[in-house]
Chains A and B, each alone.
Chain A
Amino acid sequence: MRLFLTAAMAGLMLTAPATASAAKLAGPELVEIADISVSLNGLVCDFCSIALNKTFKKRDDILATYVDLDTKILSLSLKEGASLSNEDIMKLVEKAGYTTTKIARKDGSVFVPPAK
């Protein structure tokens, strides 16, 4: 029992720095300046936002990400000169375990995937 409690406490101590560093990379301020806004189904908790952030941040063309649970929108900021197709976005969302309902871009274009 002591071993499990120790492991639990160690995990808790690791939590604070991880959360703090993530906040520095992206936050709600990204929503206003995002290149792409992706509306999603299935967002119910912070684990969902972590899954999406980590999945998209593995891409070289992504500068920053932010998931807003209230609006259920994933905001993406791209690196200069980079592009990301609707198909790639939907594949990445699906890889993370969620469903894309709309992709809106800074240039005003909107893509709504056909219902499955």
Chain B
Amino acid sequence: MHRFAILIAATGLLTVPAQARPVSYPEGWTLMIRNDADQNSTHVHYTFDTRHSFGVRARYDREGDFVFTGAQLNRLMKRRNTRDSQANIYARIGAGIVADDKDASELRPERDNDSALFLGLSADWETRKYFVSGAAEYWDNGRFGETSSLHSRAGFAPYVANTGALHTWLMAEGHYRPQSPKKTGVSALVRFFKGPALLELGVDDDGAPLLNYIHRY
């Protein structure tokens, strides 16, 4: 936990963030899919008031080769609206179980500590032209160990689109994963945004693809 506190502090200092907004409008459902070199993750949540959403999360950790399945609570800690910008700070907590293929095939008859917990903090600032965000996450993956990560993102819109039109963003994302053999990396991505749907396509510095999708219902 001490390490996570340091990561959170570092996030604030670096003014990083990344992760799309995890709280929608009251009574709205959201599907969030993230696929990159680190994970395949799906999060479906229901926003039950202006500041909170709750849902399920499934995440395949590609490096550890295990799957987390659990529940996730997201909280909008702070929002600042101005005429031309919006800034947010979010916290999230999740709990569930972790398993891998050996569990499914009974190759591991004795399983200890397959519960998991994660904590996250993210922030973003956005105008219709510029975007910066950052996020820190800590995962206690039970017998699969602990992981943590920092993500930051910056982007700009080559043109400003009005309501309902296709919005396009060009973005760069950096990450730091202290437990990973490859601790740092960057990705370039393009974001397409129209109505309730947001699609991101990109590639990282190793050539691995990135595909993220968000839909608000």
Chain A: residues with CB nearer than 8 A to chain B?
1, 4-5, 7-8, 11-12, 14-15, 18-19, 22-23, 27-28, 40-52, 54-55, 58, 66-70, 72, 94-99, 101
Contact = CB atoms under 8 A, between A and B. Distances in A.
Given A11-B31, A51-B25, A101-B83, A4 B40 contact: yes
B187 interface: no
Contacts of A94: 50
B21 A98 contact: no
A24 B181 CA distance: 52
B26 interface: yes
A interface secondary structure, majority: helix
25 contacts: A4-B33, A8-B211, A11-B31, A12-B197, A12-B199, A12-B213, A14-B215, A19-B196, A28-B163, A42-B86, A43-B86, A44-B126, A44-B127, A45-B128, A45-B193, A46-B167, A46-B195, A47-B216, A50-B216, A55-B26, A68-B163, A94-B50, A96-B25, A97-B25, A101-B83
A4 to B, nearest CB: 5
Interface in B161-217: 161-164, 167, 193-199, 211, 213, 215-216
A15 B50 contact: no
Interface of B: 21, 24-28, 31, 33, 35, 40, 42, 50, 76, 79, 81-86, 126-128, 160-164, 167, 193-199, 211, 213, 215-216
